[in-house]
């Protein structure tokens, strides 16, 4: 397993449309393992393959929710999930706001409206198919990561004014990071 570099906006690779996965082999399993290691180290709860420079329809999610829902400080439970060639078959008409962030838009957050329930179909790393109705944070995260497969970032869901504000804050944050590193 290896930690891979995460591409950040405005890198053009993030705007590529990812191609379907057709071969379920050892190379794919290595990529999945590397993506989990990269995501955990970042740290994040979701990562699409295109974010590590591999434009294929693969994403990984682990919400790492607290063991005790009543105690947010309790240790996180790892529940790694792999979604290959995911599709949204249906989504609810009702949308919910959720404050999203992204490893490709580091340290920036904004409220995005998304359907609160979806029905999705996907494959695992062995090629086995699944179909499930999903809600809550997993539904939001899956939609966010699936956007990456289509060259869409969460900031694309914002008004031009809000998107420009996020990008200005990102530029300021990057300058601060460069000064700290110097």
Chain segment 22-41, per-residue pLDDT in tens: 999 999 999 999 999 999 99
Query: What are the CA-CA distances from residue 73 to residues 62, 68, 90, 100, 141 (Å)?
Result: 17, 8, 35, 21, 21
Please check whether residue 78 is in contact with residue 65, taking contact to mean a CB–CB distance below 8 angstroms. Answer: no
Reference 156, options 171, 168, 140, 167; nearest CA is 167
62 backbone dihedrals φ, ψ, rounded to 5°: -150, 105
CA 86 – CA 129 distance, rounded (Å): 10
Active site residues: 145
Query: What are the CA-CA distances from residue 117 to residues 62, 88, 131, 150 (Å)?
Result: 18, 10, 13, 20
Tell if the pTM clears 0.75, that is, is over it.
Answer: yes
pLDDT digits (tens, 9 = 90+) for 85-140: 999 999 999 999 999 999 999 999 999 999 999 999 999 999 999 999 999 999 99
């Amino acid at each position: 397993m290896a930690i891979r570099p995460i591409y950040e906006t405005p890198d053009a690779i993030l705007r590529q449309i990812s191609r379907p996965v057709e071969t379920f082999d050892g190379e794919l399993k290595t990529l999945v393992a590397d993506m989990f290691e990269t995501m955990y180290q970042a740290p994040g709860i979701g990562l699409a393959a295109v974010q590590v420079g591999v434009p294929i329809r693969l994403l990984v999610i682990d919400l790492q929710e607290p063991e005790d829902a009543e105690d947010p400080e309790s240790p996180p439970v790892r529940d790694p999930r792999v979604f290959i060639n995911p599709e949204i078959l249906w989504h609810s008409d009702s949308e919910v706001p959720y404050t999203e962030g992204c490893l490709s838009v580091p340290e920036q957050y904004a409220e995005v409206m998304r359907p609160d329930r979806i029905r999705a179909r996907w494959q695992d790393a062995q090629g086995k198919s699944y179909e499930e109705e999903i809600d809550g944070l997993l539904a939001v995260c899956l939609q966010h990561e699936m956007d990456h497969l289509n060259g869409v970032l969460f900031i694309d869901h914002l008004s031009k004014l809000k998107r420009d504000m996020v990008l200005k804050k990102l530029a300021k944050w990057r300058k601060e990071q460069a000064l700290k590193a110097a």
